Structure formats: C-alpha cells, structure tokens
Structure 1
Amino acid sequence: MAVKEKVNLLEVIPCRSEYITVEKEGETIVLSFPRFKYTWMQRFLVPKGMSKELHVHLEEHGTAVWELIDGKRTVREIIEELAGHFQNEAGYESRVSAYLCQLQKDGFIKWIVGRL
C-alpha cells in the first residue's frame, strides 16, 4: 500500500474551479455554479422556473479571500496579504485556512501542490 506524502497546507496554491462564475454585487461577490454537472441533467431534472445554477453570496471576508485566489499565490501568501483586512485579529490565519478548506471541499477551488 502506497504511503501518502504529507503536504503543508500553507505551501499549496488554491485555484478557482473552471465551472464557477463570479459576479460583483456591490462590495461583495456572488459565486454561481450549475446544479448538475451534465447539461442533460439540468434539462430534465431542474423544474421550470427554477434557476439552473446555485448562487452563493460571499460576505466581506469571504470576498477578500476569493479575490486573492488567482492560481499563483500560496495559502501562506494569501494569509499574509489579508493581515491588514483582518486588522491582525488573533486567529485570523486559522479562519482563512478553514475557509479555504471549505471552499475546496465544496468544489469551488482546487489545490495545486508546488509552484507552476
């Protein structure tokens, strides 16, 4: 059985998923993504009058994090750039890390291990 190599989350690069669309709504961002992966499923399984996409409204902190996800910055670099936004609040680093992990779990971002 192969042993998985441990990866330092701070060195991972978050990259936005290709099927997510982004709209600016005032000072915040709205993420949209299809309800179903395949278009035929959307055609047959989404009731008439219902949107074929789900929308997620990010709050101020979520918007600040999302705007820094560019596929080039590591998690560490994103956290460092957000220090001013969070006014060096105690524990903000773990909040940002947990938020990025949740975005990855929900399919909004993917992890890239190592520099491109």
Structure 2
Amino acid sequence: MKEKDKVNLFDVVPYISEHITTEKEGDLSVVTFPRFRNKFMQKFFVPRGKSANIHIKLEEHGTAAWDLINGERTVKEITELLAEHFNNEENYQYRITTYITQLYTNGFIKYKTAL
C-alpha cells in the first residue's frame, strides 16, 4: 500500500454490511447473517433442520460498540462515546479498535472515509 493511500483507523466511518441484520434481545444485540450469500448455496448446502441464518449474541461491550456503528460516526467518535462505558480503563481504545477491526475483517462492517 502506498504511503498516500494509508488512512488512519480513527478517521474512517464504519457502517454495517448490507447482508447483516440486528435485533435486540433484552439489552443485548443479536447480529444475524446468512450462512451462504449465494441462493444456490443456501438451497443445497444448509444442513437439514438448521436455520439459513447464523445468529450471534453480542455481550455488553460488543453491543455498546455495535449500537454506535451507524455510518455517520468515525471510529474516533465511537471510542470517545464508549470511554464512559469502559470507565476510561487503561487500553480501552485498543480494545475498541481491535473489535472494530475484527468486525471489518469478518465482513460484518465496511469502512468509508469521513468527509
């Protein structure tokens, strides 16, 4: 990657991928996505008796971060808003950025550059 193409993670705006849906179960978020995105794969490769979707129940911290990902806030704004939730504990920014990076790596979210 060229030096001019590098972007600071704190400057990007994460948004939820189009194939992901979110539901609430009490105070926690449940993230749902299809086992396979391809209709053929869904029809023939989903095991009998299994849901065509995978459901992941996020814990308290994951839900707090997930709920702030709206396509408008930068990662920096999200970490600032979560400071109180994490009681400003040491390395909370690292935990949040690692979580957001993992969500991106696994295709749950995408990034766009802040305007």
- After TM superposition, the score normalised by the length of structure 2 is 0.95
RMSD over aligned CA atoms reads 1.1
- 1:114 is displaced (CA, Å) by 2.6
Partners of 1:47 and 1:91 in 2: CA distance: 42
Partners of 2:52 and 2:63 in 1: CA distance: 23
* 1:88-108 Cα shifts (integer Å, max 9, x gaps): 111000000000000000110
Partner of 1:76, secondary structure, is helix
Partners of 1:39 and 1:113 in 2: CA distance: 31
Q: In percent, how many aligned pairs have the same letter?
A: 52
Structure 1: which 5+ residue stretches go unaligned? none
- After TM superposition, the score normalised by the length of structure 1 is 0.94
Q: Is residue 109 of structure 1 aligned with residue 109 of structure 2?
A: yes
Partners of 2:89 and 2:110 in 1: CA distance: 27
- 1:6 is displaced (CA, Å) by 1.2
* Count of residues in Structure 1 that have an aligned counterpart in Structure 2: 114
Structure 2 counterpart of 1:37: 37
* 1:55-92 Cα shifts (integer Å, max 9, x gaps): 11100000000000000000000000001111111100
